[in-house]
Chain A
Amino acid sequence: MVEKFDVVVVGAGPAGVSAAIVTARAGLNTVIIERGNIPGEKNLFGGVLFKHPFEKLIPDFVKTAPLERKVVEYQYWILLDDSFIKLVYRDDAFENNPSGYTALRAKFDAWYAKKAQEAGAMLITRTQALEPIIKDGKVIGVNTDRGELFGNIVIAADGANSLLAQKAGLHDEWKPHQLALGVKEVIEVQRTKIDEMFQVKTEEGVAATIIGGPLKGMTGGGFLYTDREALSVGIGVLLSDLVSNNIRPNKLYEKFKRHPAIYPYIKDGILKEYSAHLIPEGGYNAIPKLYTNGMMVVGDAALLVNVVGWEGTNLAAESGILAGETAIYAHKVKDFSANVLKIYETKLRNSFVLRDLRKFRRIPPFLYKNKHFFSSYPEMLRDILRLWHTVDGEPKEIKIKRIRDVIISKVGPIKLIKDISDLIRGILF
């Protein structure tokens, strides 16, 4: 197999397919290679997909895409060993105009890849890109397990492991603190039962973001999302924390799942799938070089994940669109060198993708260094609430004093002020 294309996209996830839709629609000879049998079968995410970049490419996206439920309620849970605190935000505004939808990637990615094929892109499955073909300092194609493929431009959308970009010399091997391991289960629960448990209509759903509990002292979080007829439950913890705490991911997940805040939802459910995947969490400062002569890197492969907003697929799709646009321009000027492909980075910098990641650049290192955030703060909150709600005749004056003591002993006033100011600095300024 020796073929020459205008654009070779490696990976049929949201980033790669978005790029291919854009270039194929512009008439560029585009091929997507995908290592799975069907696009999506190797792919995994927590479960909430934000529609905005997809709608740019597919106007009737919401009507036609295989989405599970529109998210009308966001929950935030803080777990302790023996208790939990929940914050629930339901808004009718999301009934008519939701941003996020729960989805399952095996279904979604297969559907989305078809959209690229409809646009004219060729899809080759069961084919793995082994390394970039580099000649005179330019990436001119990829070597696959089924032969060589040549292209004016290679778009590396090969996911969190980002082996292609690594082999092209755009970054070194990732460090264990730059990636989280996500472990997830899809648990079948009757549709009507989900509606009942979460007080939603069938097409509506809930996204719960969870910290603490079994994950205390580790940089990481968990989630519970309502699919149409299943619940997606999972955790994501930095690889470095799994190693230093000597905890097996499945053991940790099992503890998490059996926490009294979560277990009632799934106890009668049927396990349909256990899965795991890496999540790039290094943030802005860990982002690799995004382009080189003849190649651009998009999506997870470029570490484009926003750990503050828990967003990833929308950043992936947007980066794919921008790389696609850059590829079109490069073909117009017939120059595929880094000189022209640097436009991709400029476009990313002007978009929400790098603006968001830059904005929150201090957060990943902050969360990495301040693991007490995931243990002492939950405990402090629990102790305060427990004191306040233990009504036993003790004068409130003394209760307040004891609450003050809790804050001082769990975190300390100076540390508390510093943490709050660091967080405010990291998010608001």
Chain B
Amino acid sequence: MSQQIYIQKQKEEIPVYKKEENSNVEGKLFLARYKRDDVSHLVIKDNETCIKCNHKPCIIVCPADVYKWEENRLIISYDNCVECGSCRIVCPYSNIQFRYPLHGKGIGYRYG
């Protein structure tokens, strides 16, 4: 019985196309294996530069919705990051300090 409930719960957690939430990045990222790093591997060098930046292309190109603009600063959900590097390349001011998470942390694809 308890096992059945477990299976049912697990099934619910798997986003299936018929469901609404499955088009969200957030929901999709739940499927990935992930080891959280204690510190962010993405660092904004100078927030003033971001305030001056009109387009904020980092927010646009990120496939994992890592960046959000709130109260005059970038909120970085680095534990969503899939480590592609797009944000660093599109930043017109080279204002994003990018490295990969250390010691094998971060995302791990099961399929790839």
A residues with a Cβ closer than 8 A to B are 35-38, 40-45, 104-109, 125-128, 130, 145-146, 160-161, 163, 173-176, 179, 181, 183, 185-186, 230, 239-240, 242-243, 246-250, 254, 266-278
With contact pairs A174-B89, A230-B111, A239-B90 given, residues A275 and B61 touching in the complex (Cβ less than 8 Å): no
Query: Which residues of chain A are within 8 angstroms of B28 by Cβ–Cβ distance?
Result: 185, 250, 271, 274
B residues with a Cβ closer than 8 A to A are 14-17, 22-23, 25, 28-29, 31-33, 35, 55, 57, 60-65, 82-86, 88-90, 94, 98-100, 102-104, 106-112
Q: Is the CB of A104 within 8 A of B108?
A: no
- CB-CB nearest in chain B for A146: B103
Q: Is the CB of A272 within 8 A of B31?
A: yes
Query: Which residues of chain A are within 8 angstroms of B33 by Cβ–Cβ distance?
Result: 41
A230 CA / B17 CA spacing, docked (Å): 14
In the complex, which of the residues A107, A174, A270, A278 contacts B84, with contact meaning CB atoms closer than 8 Å? A278
Query: Which residues of chain A are within 8 angstroms of B16 by Cβ–Cβ distance?
Result: 270-271
A425 CA / B19 CA spacing, docked (Å): 48
Q: Is the CB of B112 within 8 A of A40?
A: yes
In the complex, which of the residues A105, A160, A271 contacts B109, with contact meaning CB atoms closer than 8 Å? A105
Query: Which residues of chain A are within 8 angstroms of B35 by Cβ–Cβ distance?
Result: 37
Q: List 17 A-B contacts (CB under 8 A).
A: A37-B35, A42-B83, A43-B109, A104-B112, A107-B111, A108-B112, A161-B85, A173-B88, A185-B28, A242-B61, A248-B60, A250-B23, A271-B14, A271-B15, A271-B22, A273-B110, A274-B29
- Other than A243-B61, A248-B65, give 19 A-B pairs with Cβ distance below 8 A: A35-B104, A40-B109, A41-B109, A105-B109, A106-B109, A126-B103, A127-B103, A173-B89, A248-B60, A248-B62, A249-B62, A250-B28, A254-B23, A271-B22, A273-B112, A275-B109, A276-B63, A276-B82, A278-B85
Query: Which residues of chain B are within 8 angstroms of A105 by Cβ–Cβ distance?
Result: 109, 111-112
With contact pairs A243-B57, A275-B112 given, residues A160 and B25 touching in the complex (Cβ less than 8 Å): no
A77 CA / B103 CA spacing, docked (Å): 42
Query: Which residues of chain A are within 8 angstroms of B108 by Cβ–Cβ distance?
Result: 36-38, 41-42
A128 CA / B17 CA spacing, docked (Å): 36
B15 to chain A, nearest CB (A): 5
Query: Which residues of chain A are within 8 angstroms of B61 by Cβ–Cβ distance?
Result: 181, 239, 242-243, 249
With contact pairs A126-B104, A239-B90 given, residues A269 and B17 touching in the complex (Cβ less than 8 Å): yes
A130 CA / B102 CA spacing, docked (Å): 10
A106 CA / B99 CA spacing, docked (Å): 21
Q: Is the CB of A106 within 8 A of B90?
A: no
